[in-house]
A = this chain, B = another copy of it.
Amino acid sequence: MNDLELIQDTVKKILPLEDQWLVSSKKRLDSLTKPLGSLGRLEDLAQKICAIKRTIKPLLANKVIFTLAADHGITAEGVSAYPSEVTPQMVFNFLRGGAGINVLSRTVNAKVIVVDMGVAFDFPPSQGLVNLKIRMGTGNFAKGPAMSREEAATAIASGIGLVEKEMKNGIDIAGTGDMGIGNTTSSSAITSVMTGKTVSQVTGQGTGIEAKALSHKILVIEKALELHKPDSTDPIGVLSKVGGFEIGGLVGVILGAAKNKIPVMLDGFISGAAALIAVSLAPAVKDYLIAAHRSAEPGHDAMLKHLELSPLLDLKMRLGEGTGAALGMGLAEAACKILNEMATFEEASVSGKKEPATGRV
């Protein structure tokens, strides 16, 4: 299969959820020793994971976060607070275990898979780094397309391949993560196209630019969208025109996970941009997505609304790398353990609710 055929084949195999698992998992939750529904959104999360995994006793033994890195030609326009050299520097930091994603993954016992999707640096071969480099960073999309359609398809296919390969070790839940100086600019452009919001509504400070630089960033994106006129019904076209290699890779990770009935714990703004593209390619993907947190990036809300997702956490985080996904996985594991480990009213000989008719409801 070539890249496009692999994408089409994967999309075809993504099945919508079946209501029966929502019903049977609700029944199990209601049998457990707690007031009905008293674990709130943790119960909703448990139900969703049951429906995705087609079981009422899901285990999240293998938690895997895919942290994909790439560089962005658009940084030449001065849109980021940090220089591009930070992308490879942070990749080395990931490999040594000193970055935020390493620390937070360890707290929830998740594995981090670090992937070079297109960093502008020639890494020496390293055991910890997966090399799927497409090119030394995207083109500057203020002047031309970020990548060719073929490269966009390759990025997505590479992400699918990442998941398929890791299936041999087992994946019970997949997290998305990113590293790439300049990638909030690309993600804002994608969000504007896919949600119909104006650029200024969905563009924020990224790693920390000031007000004046933010106006400049908005202008750069507006001009680029005028230049490329991306078509929201052609997601691969949008990705090629204003996307990034790591964003394309994450589109593939999301599609690959959904095809394999694996819940996807979405990190923040960059992961959300990938999800917008993935859902446009395969609407059924939406059922497999869990929003770990609400990013501090203002455009994230428009994404979440478009994806019909309500985030689990709202901690004003905006680091990326998959850090929010790691925290979300801790909650997902707690939700699953409830189903697996809590005693039922019957097992524990605990009395149920009083009859409402007694007035003592």
A-side residues, CB < 8 A to B, are 32-42, 78-83, 85-86, 89-90, 92-93, 96, 98-100, 102-104, 106-108, 207-210, 212-213, 216, 296, 312-319, 323, 326-327, 330-331, 333-334, 337-338, 341-343, 347-354, 356, 358-361
Contact = CB atoms under 8 A, between A and B. Distances in A.
A318 B333 CA distance: 19
Copies in the complex: 2
B213 A361 contact: yes
A343 B103 CA distance: 10
Please indicate which of the listed interface residues A42, A89, A96 has the most CB atoms of chain B within 10 Å of its own CB. Answer: A42
A351 B318 contact: no
Given A35-B207, A107-B337, A342-B99, A40 B318 contact: yes
A contact patch SS? loop
* Top-10 shortest CB links A-B: A98-B343, A40-B316, A35-B207, A78-B360, A38-B319, A41-B315, A40-B317, A213-B361, A89-B350, A93-B348
A342 B209 CA distance: 23
A82 B33 contact: no
26 contacts: A33-B90, A33-B98, A34-B99, A35-B207, A36-B208, A40-B315, A40-B318, A78-B359, A78-B360, A81-B353, A81-B354, A82-B351, A82-B354, A83-B360, A85-B351, A86-B350, A86-B351, A89-B348, A103-B334, A103-B337, A104-B338, A207-B353, A314-B314, A326-B334, A327-B331, A327-B334
B38 A207 contact: yes
Contacts of A89: 348-351
Contact of A341 (B37, B103, B353, B358): B103
Contact of A338 (B40, B93, B103): B103
A65 to B, nearest CB: 14
Contact of A348 (B96, B208, B316, B349): B96
Contacts of A314: 314
A83 to B, nearest CB: 6
A312 B312 contact: no
A213 B318 CA distance: 45
Contacts of A352: 82
A318 B34 CA distance: 10
